[in-house]
């Protein structure tokens, strides 16, 4: 409650009449009246919740109105008992807007002056009702949100605590960036329909792990201090799967698995890759949403955050933002999926220094790494003296062709994946390719 005149909350109650309560403000020294908050007219509902019982009480014209205004979740609670009290009253309808002010009289004493108006109508009879509803928990209620919270908290508590590996001490330090973009797990491609090798979830899993192991083997000989592993970029082929699989924007997809199986296989596949990479060097995961799996990849990232919460060898960046940045020494690498319907390429070059100015200032070598188009492409923006520019690199894909690609003629691209080795001080040292001949 606030003073009608000055907004102060330093008030004193000064009696009540006809459901009107009178207040005195200690700050502005004025009186004013308001409806009694606990009156029948306001219909305030009081709650008393216990572990095994909820009691609601208040005034209402009928039980339906009482339950509606109480906003009781009748899926969570069931009514055990309803107590109703009724009594008739007669009163004159009264409207008033009165204000009392204090002033000094000729002798210096306080005197109260009343300003405003008050009117009375005819006598009216009304039937007052008060309800007391006792509710108990519904034994058949399934609280999905509570289950999710408890599940994630339980995972964090019981997440396996992995001892920090004894990684070798290095004089020269390098970062190994492993890029497996656009896997499209769950995509179904039939060789007779596409004119190329078939593609399904089993082939996708095989190519994924062979690609990672192949890139790591080719990187041997470089002193690797850390591994950067972007996760996402259309890792899943569909986002919503009921009643039919569709992408984030609603494009129908042909898949070879039920959506529950697809997510479970994807989670196991990513964790297998992360655990393997963590035996070589600490792993930094950056979750990048795609245009096929924008929401689903966030759920996977949230799960990875929880699973590896107690693992000091692994970090997970699953921030909801679509553009993410990673700084290693003098190298600043930006990640986003690369769908130009979302953001034009030219805008990326101006976005980086604005989005992360503190990282931009520390970097000498700056790049954006994108997916989406399934083939290799480099788009450069350089200044005249070749300093302070940005390279935009598109990554290739291990994903096979499907009917849509064949109909559009988007076939023939080399299937593969890439890795980059970054010197802490001297920028990119090597580009490693892993190709699949199909």
Question: Which is higher by pLDDT, 206 or 251?
Answer: 206
| Residue 291 confidence (pLDDT) above 80 | yes
Domains of the chain: 40-137 (no CATH), 144-436 (3.60.21)
- CA angle 134/136/141 to nearest 5° reads 140
CB atoms within 10 A of CB 364: 13
Q: Record the tokens describing residue 172, joined without a space.
A: 């020269």
Question: Which is higher by pLDDT, 204 or 3?
Answer: 204
pLDDT band at 142 (very low <50, low <70, confident <90, very high): low
Phi, psi for residue 296 in degrees, rounded to 5: -60, -35
Q: According to the model, what pLDDT value does residue 377 have?
A: 78
SS3 state at 64: helix
Residues 117 and 60 sit within 8 Å (Cβ to Cβ): no
* Residue showing tokens 């593609």: 199
pLDDT band at 161 (very low <50, low <70, confident <90, very high): low
pLDDT band at 387 (very low <50, low <70, confident <90, very high): very low
Please compute the mean of the pLDDT values over residues 386-402 and round it to a whole number.
80
311: left (phi over 0), alpha (psi -120 to 50) or beta: beta
| pTM, full prediction | 0.63
pLDDT band at 289 (very low <50, low <70, confident <90, very high): very high
| Residue 236 confidence (pLDDT) above 90 | yes
Residues 16 and 22 sit within 8 Å (Cβ to Cβ): yes
| Residue 177 confidence (pLDDT) above 90 | yes
% of the chain beyond a pLDDT of 70: 83
Q: Which of 84-93, 317-326, 341-350 has the highest mean pLDDT?
A: 317-326
CA distances from 56 to 245, 265, 271, 353 (A): 45, 48, 49, 56
Question: Which is higher by pLDDT, 134 or 242?
Answer: 134
pLDDT band at 17 (very low <50, low <70, confident <90, very high): low
Mean pLDDT lowest among 38-47, 353-362, 374-383, 410-419: 38-47
List, in sequence order, the alpha helices (H) in 314-428. Answer: 345-355, 357-362, 403-408
Give the H or E element holding residue 121. strand 110-137
Cα 288 from Cα 286, distance rounded (Å): 6
């Amino acid at each position: 409650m606030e003073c009608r005149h000055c907004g102060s909350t330093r008030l004193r109650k000064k009696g009540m009449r006809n459901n009107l309560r009178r207040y005195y403000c200690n700050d502005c020294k004025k009186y004013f009246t308001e409806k009694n908050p606990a009156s029948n007219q306001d219909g305030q509902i009081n709650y008393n919740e216990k572990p095994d019982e909820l009691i609601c009480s208040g005034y209402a014209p009928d039980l339906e109105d009482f339950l509606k205004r109480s906003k009781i979740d009748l899926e969570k609670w069931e009514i055990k008992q309803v107590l109703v009290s009724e009594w008739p009253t007669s009163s004159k309808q009264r409207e008033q807007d009165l204000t009392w002010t204090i002033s000094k009289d000729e002798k210096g004493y306080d005197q109260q002056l009343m300003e405003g108006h008050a009117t009375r109508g005819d006598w009216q009879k009304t039937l007052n009702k008060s309800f007391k509803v006792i509710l108990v928990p519904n034994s058949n209620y399934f609280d999905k949100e509570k289950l999710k919270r408890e599940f994630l908290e339980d995972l964090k508590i019981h997440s396996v605590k992995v001892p920090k590996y004894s990684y070798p001490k290095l004089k020269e330090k390098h970062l190994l960036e492993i890029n497996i973009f656009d896997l499209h797990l769950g995509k179904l491609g039939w060789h007779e329909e596409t004119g190329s090798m078939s593609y399904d979830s089993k082939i996708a899993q095989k190519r994924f792990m062979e690609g990672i192991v192949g890139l790591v083997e080719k990187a041997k000989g470089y002193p690797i201090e850390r591994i950067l592993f972007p996760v996402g970029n259309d890792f899943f082929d569909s986002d919503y799967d009921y009643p039919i699989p569709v992408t984030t924007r609603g494009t129908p997809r042909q898949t070879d698995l039920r959506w529950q199986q697809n997510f479970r296989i994807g989670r196991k596949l990513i964790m297998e890759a992360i655990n393997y990479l963590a035996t070589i060097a600490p792993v930094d995961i950056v979750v990048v949403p795609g245009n096929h799996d924008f929401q689903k990849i966030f759920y996977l990232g949230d799960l990875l955050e929880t699973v590896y919460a107690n693992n000091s060898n692994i970090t997970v960046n699953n921030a909801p933002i679509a553009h993410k940045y990673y700084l290693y020494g003098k190298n600043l690498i930006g990640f986003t999926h690369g769908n130009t319907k979302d953001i034009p390429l030219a805008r990326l070059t101006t976005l980086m220094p604005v989005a992360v100015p503190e990282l931009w200032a520390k970097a000498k070598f700056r790049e954006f790494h994108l997916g989406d188009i399934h083939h290799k492409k480099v788009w450069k923006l350089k200044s005249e003296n070749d300093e302070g520019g940005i390279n935009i690199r598109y990554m290739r894909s291990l994903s096979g062709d499907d009917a849509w690609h064949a109909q559009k003629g988007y076939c023939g691209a080399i299937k593969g994946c890439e890795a980059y080795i970054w010197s802490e001080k001297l920028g990119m040292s090597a580009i490693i390719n892993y190709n699949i001949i199909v």
